[in-house]
Structure 1
Amino acid sequence: MIPHHLFLYQHLDHSAARRADHVAVQDTRISLTYGALRQEAVAIARRLQTLGVQPGDRVILLLENSVDFARAYWGAVYAGAVVTPLSVETKTDKLGFILGDCTPAAVIADEALTDEVHVALPADLNPAVISLHAPGEITADGPAPCAGRVIDQDLGCMIYTSGSTGHPKGVMLSHQNLTAAARSVCTYLGYTEDDRIFVTIPLTFDYGMHQLTMGALVGATVVIERNFASPLFTLDRLVKSGATCFPLVPTMAPLISALADRFDFSGIRLISSTAAALHPRVIDQLREIFSQATVFSMYGLTECHRCTYLPPDQLERRKGSVGIAIPNTEMWVEDSEGQRHYRDATGTLVIRGATVMKGYWNNPEKTAQRLRPGKFPGEFVLNTGDLCRLDPEGYLYFIARSDDVLKIRGEKVAPKEVEDALLMHPAVSEAVVVGRPDKVQGHQLHALVTLKPGMSPDPKELRDWCAQHLESIAVPRRVEIREAFARNANGKIDRNSLIDELA
């Protein structure tokens, strides 16, 4: 039976008490048992306290996928801090914005990134910037430093996600949000203490991070892979690790398919996919490759973790569906008149339940667009903004996002962020970035620019510029230079005509 914990740190407390000598987390370098992981997390929490970190303060994690990330994550949780994970590829400008927005009390970073943090820090901020060294150098015992100082409505995590404005928004998630999400997803996935969960997706991505919380909830082992950049070597480690569960994002499937005949995947019992709806062709691919595994197709948003999952017994009948609401969650669609529908209708998806975020940090306007009063006083439901269809039996089919945020390799990229980077180049006059469908990546970014008079950079120079200012995932696949853009009646660039032209 899955325990019902009020606080995140109780996940680790529970498994450390039950399975102190069982491996909790491991990477290619080291492994830690539950007893050791808890001990080191408490020590990190106390170290954060000595640096002035109080419950409710934000602590940024700027760490590669690794056991160090797990140590830092649980250490911040035990301190009662709001864990704020960021990709190590976050560029200086974006990092500076996030630092200024969330005003962290501390930043735990890979040693190679501490200088970059100092460069990005706004002048009026002075958080403690620390790196973690070899595990085992510090030990501690006793209760969590935050015990009795937080309640389940307090924030446990904040995940920055891109939006159509190009400015990242901090999704505020309480302990209740996070523990409810872990229980719900563990319930239908059926994670057990005997599982070995192989994680290649970023731990800074909400579904990656939740592998740590779900693993600790049931006492499983989480095997952490740095990334999926070298699929051949990663799949070899997947098999050799004895993994039983393999969470992934849809764009990984074609890469796995190309190498599948080299490996014996019979030990994998469970495949789960999230970040975007699985295409029926990809479902067929995964079921063929992992013939002994149960495949779960899921769909969700950071703002509520997961929205839906497709029960595996419905895969043949409803391959195009993203399924039903996750346990302890209610969903419906609202039509253009605001009428609520539970079946046989198309409209905007709305989610109700304990996983719904508390709002966007420092952004009441965007919060009001997404959170609406619910059924009971003080309750809020999430207006996802996503256009979806419910079939006559209440199964959901995703149609489109409400804004132009794109998913590339399972991660969100805002075209405006890329446009802003291009417009920083001294030769660029105007920039438009659109997404083109791609079977492997999900989308490719295609940038079109006009130049200032007398300027003549070539496309490669502009791509290199983007690489200097953006994460690799946001660098356009192609940059095209144009004389001028078509405009609509309001004098604005006709983006829709460009999208149609490039389709």
Structure 2
Amino acid sequence: MLPDHRPYRALLHECLAIAAMESPEKTALHVGTETCSYRMLAERSDRLAAALQDRGLRRGDRVAIFMDNTIPCAISIFAVLKAGGVFVVINPQTKHDKLSFIANDCSIRHLITDVHLAKVAIAASAHVPTLTHIIFSGDGAERPSREGVATEWLEEVLACSTTGMRSPGTIPTDLAALIYTSGSTGNPKGVMQTHQSMVFSVGSLTEYQRLSADDVMLNLLPLAFDYGLYQLLMSVSLGAALVLERSFTYPAEVFTRMTRHRVTVFPGVPTIFAMMIAAHQRRPLEFPDVRRVTNTAAALPPSQFPVIRDIFPNALIYAMYGLTECKRVSYLPPELLDAKPGSVGIAIPGTEVYLRSPSGESVEPGAPGILHVRGPHVMRGYWNNVARTEKMLREGDIPGERVLCTGDWFRMDEDGYLYFISRSDDIIKTRGEKVSPAEVEAVLCAIPGIEEAAVIGVADEVLGQAICAFVVPSSGVVFDERRLRRELASNLENYMVPRDILLRETLPKNPNGKIDRKALAGTCDQEETQHDSATS
């Protein structure tokens, strides 16, 4: 259901035209010391859309946007949609080989990027035969060039273009975006989302989070990450303001801007909350203007909620679960945070979820099952990957319907509330038993003095897999491993207690802020090799 006071939008970008008409001088974006009004965002995206059409963009063409979180990045997203294209936002930390794979996978003809990323963009583009145009944003003494490809400055393109774009004839079932997700193995997969599916998701998200045009939202995550992207889409759909940050690398500066702009909506992931809690322990933080706090990517340990409430004393706290293939699956109404500890809630408005056994049978309340999702937000499929699409989109109970089989294990209580158990690839099989890393991590994070923890399975000739825990202690805390093991043994079955507990100053993160378990597995393998060499 869309907010009653906003006209219905059939296409994803139509919300920008509405906001620009209703509140042209209202600030849409705060980026560092820069601001962008709705009028400016609409006019500049119109100009860029017209320029893209003049440079050969046709309805359905994919356009890569390889940029930092900036005003030009937001302009580019809406411009591609207005021109009839499909935007592909790529994380600015992406290396040239992965950038080249994505660009080739979806056959891009146009690339919009920041000049400081030119070296990577040019290296990648050398292996993309479909590419015809590169537009660079930023300042530079000399425009980068690539033989056989037209290169231009974004500001010059905007200055020379008119707002006379042609209607591309886009309809709601046309693709709006390809959102590339790495998954656990193999090359990135391009999740296909239509205008219709994304408009629905925006409406459902803003409804259950109870957001309005008065909100000032914050985004600390890359716009290539769907959690970050939807902060932009939700704020524009409401005519709200967005404080767009490049990252959370300098928390003190972010906190200053949060206070200056009176941020009311704070979306985070567990690593961000862990950093905030550590900062709060050094010097108390408080953001009384924040009215909504959301978390996804992984569950927050229940032990952290009291501290988060101290930091955000007036906020409703939402625990949520989602995956790129359908944006968001579930949310826990904040009033039930204490009544349903550990739950990620119920299906978002307008959708349905249920659990099935691996053989497709219904499971009883409390029993583990694989999560299935129904709704308009489910992806059309993976771009150029029929085999993976057929694995994820299964025949539903209603003839002709395709539902999303997430592959993730949950249990559902008698009231219909979901509890995450594990992603299929994460389950550790040790001593003949199945162990959920999330369960062990929750116990670790509940121990005073532990700031962050991650658990993985490593090969073991006797156990099948051994449990390895990586622990980041709070500043100034010195751990006694024997005491730590006693704590774990008192809260976990014996087979769930990690064989190895490794202390770290930090845990490796991927560009989306999630703990990089592959990198942890690699360091664990290195330590095993070094240990074997030392003892041989």
- Aligned-residue CA RMSD (Å): 3.1
> Cα distance, 1:388 vs. partner?
0.4
Q: Which runs of 5+ in 2 are unaligned?
A: 140-153, 428-436, 439-455, 457-464, 475-507
Question: Does residue 182 of the first structure (1) align with residue 205 of the second (2)?
Answer: no
Q: Which moved more, 1:132-141 or 1:32-41?
A: 132-141
After superposition, the C-alpha distances for 1:107-142 in whole angstroms (9 at most, x for unaligned) are 111112123222113253333111235898636776
Q: Distance in 2 between matches of 1:185 and 1:279?
A: 23
1:153: which partner in 2?
Answer: 173
2:235: which partner in 1?
Answer: 215
Contact kept in structure 1, 2:50 and 2:83, CA below 8 Å: yes
Q: Which moved more, 1:223-232 or 1:363-372?
A: 223-232
* Larger radius of gyration between Structure 1 and Structure 2: 2
Q: Which moved more, 1:334-343 or 1:152-161?
A: 334-343
Contact kept in structure 2, 1:347 and 1:388, CA below 8 Å: yes
Contact kept in structure 2, 1:348 and 1:386, CA below 8 Å: yes
1:302: which partner in 2?
Answer: 324
Equivalent residue for 1:125, pick from 125, 130, 142: 130
Contact kept in structure 2, 1:276 and 1:300, CA below 8 Å: no
1:75: which partner in 2?
Answer: 79
Q: Distance in 2 between matches of 1:144 and 1:350?
A: 41
Deviating beyond 6 angstroms after TM superposition, the runs of 4 or more aligned structure 1 residues are 134-137
Q: TM-score, normalised by structure 2?
A: 0.75
1:309-458 → structure 2 map (5 Å cutoff): 309-341=331-363, 343-404=365-426, 436=469, 438=471
Residue identity opposite 1:9 in structure 2: H
Q: Distance in 1 between matches of 2:473 and 2:268?
A: 13
Residue identity opposite 1:129 in structure 2: I
After superposition, the C-alpha distances for 1:128-163 in whole angstroms (9 at most, x for unaligned) are 11123589863677686445x111111101111112
Equivalent residue for 1:204, pick from 224, 247, 251: 224
Q: Distance in 1 between matches of 2:213 and 2:529?
A: 61
The secondary structure found in structure 2 opposite 1:131 is: strand
Contact kept in structure 2, 1:114 and 1:130, CA below 8 Å: no
After superposition, the C-alpha distances for 1:435-474 in whole angstroms (9 at most, x for unaligned) are 8555699xxxxxxxxxxxxxxxxxxxxxxxx99xxx9975
Residue identity opposite 1:268 in structure 2: V
Q: Distance in 2 between matches of 1:244 and 1:327?
A: 22
Distance 1:41 1:438, change over 3 A: farther
Distance 1:157 1:194, change over 3 A: same
The secondary structure found in structure 1 opposite 2:64 is: strand
Contact kept in structure 1, 2:112 and 2:134, CA below 8 Å: yes
Question: Does residue 281 of the first structure (1) align with residue 303 of the second (2)?
Answer: yes
The secondary structure found in structure 2 opposite 1:8 is: coil
Q: Distance in 2 between matches of 1:42 and 1:377?
A: 42
Contact kept in structure 1, 2:297 and 2:514, CA below 8 Å: no
After superposition, the C-alpha distances for 1:157-214 in whole angstroms (9 at most, x for unaligned) are 1111112323110111111111010000000111111111111111111011011111
Identity %: 35
Q: Distance in 2 between matches of 1:256 and 1:216?
A: 27
Task: Report which structure shows greater RCO (CA 8 Å, sep ≥6).
Answer: 1
> Cα distance, 1:376 vs. partner?
4.2
Question: Does residue 107 of the first structure (1) align with residue 111 of the second (2)?
Answer: yes
1:191: which partner in 2?
Answer: 211
Q: Distance in 2 between matches of 1:49 and 1:9?
A: 16
Q: Which runs of 5+ in 1 are unaligned?
A: 408-414, 416-431, 442-465, 487-503
Q: Distance in 2 between matches of 1:288 and 1:177?
A: 37
1:220-299 → structure 2 map (5 Å cutoff): 220-260=240-280, 261-299=283-321
Distance 1:28 1:321, change over 3 A: same
- Number of residues of Structure 1 aligned to a counterpart in Structure 2: 437
